[in-house]
Amino acid sequence: MTEIEVSSDVETIVEDSDLPRRLKGKVYETIEAREVSTEEAAAITDAVESRYLDTRIDPLDPVGTVSAQSIGEPGTQMSIPSDERVVVRRDGETRATEIGPFVDDLLSSGETRTIDDHEVARAPDGIEVPSLDRDEQVRWKAVEEVSRHETPDELLRFELESGRSVRATKAHSFVTRSGGEIAPVDAETLSTGDRLPAVGEYDPATAAIDASVLDRSAATDGGVVLADPGTDVIPTHVAWERIESIELVESEYEHVYDFSVAGLETFTTGSGVVTHNTMNTFHYAGVAEIDVTQGLPRLIELVDARKTPDTPMMTVHLEDEYAEDREKAHEVVWGIEATKILALGDISTNVADMLVRVDLNEETLAERWPTVADTDEVAVEIADIIEDSLGVDTTRDGTAIEFGPEQPSYRDLFRLVEQLRDVTFKGIEDVTRVVIRKEQLAEDREEFVLYTEGSAFGDVLEIEGVDASRTTCNNIHEIYRVLGVEAARETIIEETMNTLEEQGLDDVNVRHLMLVADIMTNDGTIQSIGRHGISGSKDSVLARAAFEVTVNHLLDAAINGEIDDLNGVTENVIVGKPIKLGTGDVDLRMGAANPADRGGPTDLAERESETEPETDAGIDGNVEEAEAEAD
C-alpha cells in the first residue's frame, strides 16, 4: 500500500490508525528517515494520531468566531492541593488537618453551587482560621466559603529558609511586603530571595508548627486541642522568611481547594506559612484584582481632565443587609455586571438547518436571577431580548432557544452569532467585571464592597442596595455630570492624593492639590491644565506661547492684533523685565537731593535759628494774635 519500504508490522500499525492518507504518508517518511524499530514506529504513530484527533473538527461543528468559548479564565486555580494541612478552629476546637477531606466533608453536607468550574459552598458558622491582618497581627477569622476545582497538571512548591514548605497552583496568591505594606502577589511572580510571612515555631521533624502559640496546647495532624474562645488576637510573632527554592511538582490529586476568609483573606497552613485566598475576587473577575492605572499616567489623566480614564472603575458601597449578607450582595453584583450570552450557556450552529441554538444553564440562570423562582421565566426574558436586539423570531423549548436568518445564508448565520455575543442580557453594558470583597471599614464592622471594571456612575446609583452617599468612581467627568462641580473638585483632590500616596509621596501637602482642583473647576466646569484648558486660555500672548505650539499662538495674536500688557511673571521674564512681585512691584529711586530745591534753610546758622526755643513773651504774643483772629 506504500512505496516506502517498511516492515509488514509497521505497515499494519500505520494503516490501522485513524490518520488520513496524507498524514499516513508523512508518518511513513519519518519512519524511513529515522530507521526506527517497530516499537518506536508505534509510538510515533500514536503521537501523531493523538494530536490529529485533538485538533480535528467534525462536520457541522462550529469553529472560530461561531464556537462557544469561555470569556473568562475558567478555574483560575488559586488553590492548594488536597493533602496540604491547614490550621482550623471549629466550635472552640483547634486542629491541623488536610484541607481536602475537610472541604469535601463540608461540600457533601451543604448546599453547593458551581461558579466558573468551582464547587462553592458557604461555610457553617463557627469555623475559623489564623489570619494575618495588615497590622501584622494574627487573628482568628471566620471562614465564609470553601471551594474546590480540578487540579492543574503542575503545582509550585516553595521551600523557606526554616525548612517550611507549601504547594500551590501557579495562580494562587500569597502576601508579601511591598512599599512598607502587606500586599497580595501571585505565586508565579515570586522568585528565590523574596519573603513570605510565617507564624509559629516550626518543627522540621513533624513538618508542622507548634500550635501552642495558637492555643494552650499543641495541635497535631488530626489531634484536637481546646481553644480559648475569648481570644481573638493570637500571641505569636510573624517571621518574614526568605524563599530558598521554587520548583514545579506534579499534582497527585483530583482537586485543589481554597478558603474564603474575611479581612485580608489569609489563612495558615500546617507548617505556618501564611497564604492568601482570592475566592472573593475570582467569582466575578477571573483575576485577583482590578487593574487600575496608577502613578504618573494616572496623574496625567487627572490634570488633563480626560473624558474617559484608561481603566475606568467604581467603588460601590452597599446599604444595610446588602452590605452584610453575601447572598444579598450577590444580587447587587448581578445587577451591575454585564451578563453576556457566553456566561449563560452554550452556543451551537446547525449549518444544515441554518439555525443558531442557545442552551441555557439552569444553575447559572438561578444564580444570576436570584429573585426569579422559575428559570423558564428567565428563558422567556432572554428570548425576548434576542428578538428585540437581533430582529429575529425565536423558538423555545425549556431553556433551549433557536433562531436563524430570514433567508438561508452562511454570512447572515455567522453574523447573528457575532451580534449575539455583544448583547447584554442583564446588568450595565459598560461594566464588564465586578470584584466583591469583604473589608473591615471600622474596628467593629465588616461589610462587602464592590469594585468594578468599567464605569456607569449614574446607573449604579439607581440600583437597589447601593449606598449612593459613599459610592464613587475614578471618572471625574461622570462625577461632574451626576453630582456637580463641587463633587468633581473633591474627587480631583482625593484621586490625586491617593495616587501620590500609592507611590509613597504621602507627605505632599493637600493644599497644593486643593489649589490645582480650584483652578480646574473655578468657572463651574472642569478644565484641563494644558493648552486646551487653563494654559491655553490665559490673556497674555507670551504666556500662551511659552507653554506649547509657540508659533501658532504668536501668529494668531499678530493676525488679530492682540496686545500683551506684560502683567504676569512668564511674559516679563521672556522680555527681560522685572516681574511685578516683591521689589519689582515698587517704584523706588535713590540719590542726593539739594535742600534749596525743596525751599529749606541754606546754611547752618539759619537751621540753628529755626530750632531756638521761643520766649514766654513770644508765646503770649502768639496766643493773643490767635485769639484776636478768632474774634
DSSP assignments along 79-97, one per residue: -EETT-EEEEEETTEEEEE
Tell me which of 76-85, 360-369, 459-468, 495-504 is least confident.
76-85
Q: Which of 421, 446, 478 is the last residue of a domain?
A: 421
Torsion of Cα atoms, 607 then 609 then 611 then 613, to 10°: 180
CB 275 within 8 A of CB 238: no
Give domain status of residue 503, yes or no: no
Give domain status of residue 121, yes or no: yes
Beta bridge partners, 158, equal: 166, 246
- Residues 45 and 87 placed together within one structural domain of the fold: no
Number of domains the chain contains? 3
Q: What is the pTM of this model?
A: 0.49
Q: How many other CB atoms sit within 10 Å of the CB of residue 546?
A: 17
Q: Which of 400, 421, 442 is the last residue of a domain?
A: 421
Predicted pLDDT at 21: 74
**Is pLDDT of 410 > 60?**
yes
What confidence category does residue 489 fall into, taking pLDDT thresholds of 50, 70 and 90? very high
Q: Which of 385, 403, 421 is the last residue of a domain?
A: 421
| Displacement of CA 397 from its chain's centroid (Å) | 40
Report how far residue 175's alpha carbon sits from residue 135's, in angstroms, rounded to the nearest whole number.
13
CATH for 209: 2.170.16.10
Residue with more model confidence, 512 or 154 = 512
CB 127 within 8 A of CB 143: yes
**Sign, Cα dihedral of 112, 115, 117, 118:** negative
Helix intervals (H) in 180-282: 279-282
Domain containing residue 51: 8-56
Mean pLDDT of 442-469: 88
CB 558 within 8 A of CB 528: no
**Is pLDDT of 110 > 90?**
no
Predicted pLDDT at 475: 92
Predicted pLDDT at 248: 86
Residue with more model confidence, 194 or 322 = 322
Q: Please name the residue that has the C-alpha cell 478768632.
A: 630
User: Is 275 strand, coil or helix?
Assistant: strand
Mean pLDDT of 473-481: 92
User: Is 574 strand, coil or helix?
Assistant: helix
Tell me which of 67-81, 257-271, 450-464 is least confident.
67-81
Beta bridge partners, 157, equal: 167, 247
Give domain status of residue 443, yes or no: no
Predicted pLDDT at 222: 39
User: Is 340 strand, coil or helix?
Assistant: coil
What confidence category does residue 264 fall into, taking pLDDT thresholds of 50, 70 and 90? low
- Residues 133 and 198 placed together within one structural domain of the fold: yes
Report how far residue 631's alpha carbon sits from residue 628's, in angstroms, rounded to the nearest whole number.
5
Q: What is the DSSP letter of 541?
A: H
- Residues 33 and 145 placed together within one structural domain of the fold: no
Report how far residue 276's alpha carbon sits from residue 196's, in angstroms, rounded to the nearest whole number.
11
Give domain status of residue 600, yes or no: no
Q: Please name the residue that has the C-alpha cell 482537586.
A: 255
Q: Which amino acid is at 582?
A: G
Most confident of 55-59, 247-251, 281-285, 495-499: 495-499
- Residues 35 and 165 placed together within one structural domain of the fold: no
User: Is 449 strand, coil or helix?
Assistant: strand
Give domain status of residue 508, yes or no: no
Predicted pLDDT at 476: 92
What confidence category does residue 603 fall into, taking pLDDT thresholds of 50, 70 and 90? low
Largest interatomic CA distance in the chain: 158
Read off the pLDDT of residues 421-433 as tens digits, 9 standing for 90 and up.
889 999 999 998 8
Tell me which of 78-82, 87-91, 535-539, 618-622 is least confident.
618-622
Read off the pLDDT of residues 56-87 as tens digits, 9 standing for 90 and up.
544 333 333 233 222 222 223 347 888 888 88
CB 249 within 8 A of CB 154: yes
CATH for 377: 3.30.1360
Report how far residue 363's alpha carbon sits from residue 115's, in angstroms, rounded to the nearest whole number.
9
Q: What is the DSSP letter of 462?
A: T
- Residues 217 and 251 placed together within one structural domain of the fold: yes
Give domain status of residue 559, yes or no: no
Q: Which three cell numbers stand for residue 560?
A: 488679530
Taking the chain, what is the end-to-end CA distance rounded to the nearest angstrom?
153
SS3 content of the chain, % helix, strand, coil (to 5): 35, 25, 40
- Residues 267 and 370 placed together within one structural domain of the fold: no
Give domain status of residue 404, yes or no: yes
**Is pLDDT of 452 > 50?**
yes
- Residues 273 and 355 placed together within one structural domain of the fold: no
Give domain status of residue 238, yes or no: yes
Predicted pLDDT at 125: 78
Report how far residue 522's alpha carbon sits from residue 525's, in angstroms, rounded to the nearest whole number.
7
**Is pLDDT of 490 > 90?**
yes
**Is pLDDT of 2 > 90?**
no
- Residues 130 and 259 placed together within one structural domain of the fold: yes
Predicted pLDDT at 214: 56
The fraction of the chain above a pLDDT of 90, given in percent, is 12
- Residues 242 and 100 placed together within one structural domain of the fold: yes
- Residues 106 and 139 placed together within one structural domain of the fold: yes
Q: What is the DSSP letter of 123?
A: P
Read off the pLDDT of residues 554-599 as tens digits, 9 standing for 90 and up.
888 889 888 888 888 888 888 888 887 787 777 767 776 665 555 5
Query: Closest Cα partner for 118 from 343, 262, 279?
Result: 279
Mean pLDDT of 206-227: 48
Tell me which of 16-20, 506-510, 611-615 is least confident.
611-615
CB 495 within 8 A of CB 311: no
- Residues 86 and 52 placed together within one structural domain of the fold: no
Read off the pLDDT of residues 572-583 as tens digits, 9 standing for 90 and up.
888 888 887 787
CB 429 within 8 A of CB 338: yes
- Residues 88 and 41 placed together within one structural domain of the fold: no
